[in-house]
DNA sequence: TTTGTTTTGTTGTAATTACAAGTGCAGGTA
DNA sequence: TACCTGCACTTGTAATTACAACAAAACAAA
């Protein structure tokens, strides 16, 4: 006991399962069990090397895999952080379709297919931290890049944060801009669902003919 | 001219854009232009090292990226091959959700959210090679793996190939099985749209509460 | 206080080396 | 023929080294 080495355990080198995969499972578990919560800074590469007795090569191979699975986010000079659920990632990480498309040199545009206010379903309410039945604003937008339909997006927001949202014309403006400037909504309380990120030809043509279909749950 | 070195050109080391990214663009272009066709065996790692004057580290970094984008497929001992287009992979390559899920050791299940017959819109008609207004069968299914909603899928098929499809109970059976055995439909005439391949927790709960929403265009 | 510089710690890029493991073939052996 | 062994070639795993790029805090100078 007294001389127990401060390490989370060496990885099994003789095992047929590669070290980077063993390490990946270990880190994955820490994330999934909540030992490492979303937003947490996780140990740096050199620390992990020491903790598990592997080279930086192996640690980085593990990290790359976790990044591609969307479990962690890395930032040069700062560190590696546990990613929230994808939704949160894109919102809290300040994902903006408009900016994203512009960065690629394309012209972004949104078509509002439907919007309004409705009572929150149980599922939506729980995600937004509301009581079931509380009123939420919904918004379904077709997002286009250079007039090419790219994404169908449905957003829910608590109505109490968005009085008058339906009068706003935010075509061409990022939704978060509108909310931030005009309503000062706390971003972390917004949730969105994203559908159909695929942009293949057929999907596009299918989206194009959508008139204003009633897609609300 | 006479002594031109047989190489595809060294990469620019002084450039701010990393070598593995430069190489990635080069290989990507060869694939997208068709110089390397789907199924082709592309140069081995040592060959690429020689051709572009980079280390195997860099080549492998490039390859990993292309694999994650689905442009190439690698096989230990054999080599690296150009992957077909995704759509083709999944449809013409006889993609079957049921088989795919079973291969992963999970129990596949489908819930039919809506089905019926309608007149083909112009867009759908053109994709299926029909005259506008011809009748098509539509089918919206929620696909589950071990009771976890994974995919929301809408299929269109020409009615003339599918007389009586609505009487069939194909829960648990691959759609192509049903069509192949009972209707002998030519697979290449089928088209599908895939939505929401993401399986994160929130998306799942959102799908779960979908009663049978009218999602037809 | 404000600004600029240095230092420290982080991830990113890259080369090099070594061996393991899968594939296919050529050649030898029973 | 049938089987096996070795060899050549492929990708996979892993350690090591070096430096670049970025971020933030600590520090020094105006």
Confidence of residue B83 (pLDDT cuts 50, 70, 90): confident
So where are chain B's domains? 19-84, 89-208
CB contact B176 to A (< 8 Å): no
Residue A50: pLDDT above 90? yes
A8 vs B109, more confident: A8
Place of tokens 């232009």: B33
* Statement: the CB of A57 is under 7 Å from strand C: yes
Across all residues in chain A, what is the average pLDDT?
58
Q: Which residues touch strand D (CB under 7 A)?
A: A 13, 18-21, 53-58, 61, 75-78; B 16, 44-47, 57, 60, 63, 74-80
pLDDT, position A140: 47
Output A84 or A86, whichever has higher pLDDT: A84
CA separation for the pair B147, B208 (Å, rounded): 10
Residue A116 has pLDDT above 60, yes or no: no
Q: Is the pLDDT score of A79 beyond 90?
A: yes
- Residue B27: which of B75, B64, B66, B57 has the closest Cα? B66
Contact B206 A123 (CB under 8 A): yes
The predicted pLDDT at position A104 comes to 43
Question: Whose CA is closest to A154, among A200, A112, A205, A201?
Answer: A112
Architecture of the domain made up of B89-208: 3-Layer(aba) Sandwich (3.40)
Q: How many inter-chain contacts (A to B, CB under 8 Å) are there?
A: 69
pLDDT at A2 over 50: no
B19-84 topology per CATH: Arc Repressor Mutant, subunit A (1.10.10)
Is the separation of the CB atoms in A80 and A42 below 8 Å? yes
Q: How far apart are CA A144 and CA A148, in angstroms?
A: 5
User: Is the CB of B217 less than 8 angstroms away from the CB of A205?
Assistant: no
**Residue, of B24 and A186, whose pLDDT is higher:** B24
User: What pLDDT is recorded for position B163?
Assistant: 42
Please state, in angstroms and as integers, the Cα–Cα distance from residue A37 to each residue in A41, A87, A94, following that order: 9, 15, 19
pLDDT at B16: 74
Of residues B156 and A131, the one with the higher pLDDT is: A131
**Overall average pLDDT of the A63-70 stretch:** 86
- Over the stretch A153-211, which tens digit does the pLDDT of each residue have? 445 555 554 443 343 333 333 443 333 333 333 333 333 333 322 223 233 333 322 22
- pLDDT for res B68: 81
Which position has the higher pLDDT, B63 or A171? Answer: B63
Most confident segment among A56-65, B96-105, B182-191? A56-65
B102-124 pLDDT, tens per residue? Answer: 444 444 555 544 455 566 655 54
With residue A140 as reference, give the H or E element that holds it: strand A135-145
Q: What is the spatial distance between Cα B78 and Cα B88, in angstroms, rounded to a whole number? A: 23
Q: Which of B75-89, B152-166, B185-199 has the lowest mean pLDDT?
A: B185-199
Nucleic strand C within 7 A of Cβ A47: yes
pLDDT at B100 over 60: no
CA of residue A66 to C1' of nucleotide D19, angstroms: 26
Per-residue pLDDT at B185:
34
pLDDT tier at B53 (50, 70, 90 boundaries)?
A: very high
Range with the largest mean pLDDT of A49-63, A139-153, A175-189, B153-167: A49-63
Distances (CA, A) of A191 to A39, A129, B85, B202: 17, 11, 33, 9
Chosen for mutation from B60, B76, B84, B202 (greatest number of chain A CBs closer than 10 Å) is B202
Which residues 55-84 of A are in CB contact (within 8 Å) with B?
64, 68
B127 with A64: Cβ contact below 8 A = no
Is the domain A19-83 a CATH 3.40.50.720 member? no
A199 touches chain B (CB under 8 A): no
């Amino acid at each position: 006991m007294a001389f127990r080495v401060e390490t989370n355990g060496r990885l099994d080198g003789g095992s047929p399962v590669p070290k980077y995969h063993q390490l990946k499972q270990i880190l994955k578990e820490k994330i999934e069990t909540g030992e490492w919560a979303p937003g947490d800074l996780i140990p740096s590469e050199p620390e992990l090397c020491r903790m598990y007795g592997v080279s930086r090569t192996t640690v980085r191979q593990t990290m790359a895999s976790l990044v591609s699975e969307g479990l962690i986010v890395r930032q040069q000079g700062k560190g590696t952080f546990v990613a929230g659920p994808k939704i949160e990632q894109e919102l809290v990480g300040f994902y903006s379709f408009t900016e994203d498309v512009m960065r690629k040199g394309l012209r972004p545009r949104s078509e509002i297919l439907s919007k309004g206010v409705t009572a929150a379903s149980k599922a939506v309410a729980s995600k937004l931290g509301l009581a079931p039945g509380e009123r939420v604003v919904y918004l379904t937008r077709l997002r286009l890049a250079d007039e090419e339909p790219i994404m169908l997006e449905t957003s829910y927001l608590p109505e109490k944060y968005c009085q008058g949202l339906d009068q706003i014309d935010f075509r061409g403006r990022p939704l978060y801009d509108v909310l931030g400037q005009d309503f000062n909504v706390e971003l972390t309380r917004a949730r969105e669902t994203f559908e159909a990120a695929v942009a293949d030809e057929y999907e596009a043509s299918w989206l194009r003919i959508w008139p204003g279909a009633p897609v609300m749950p």
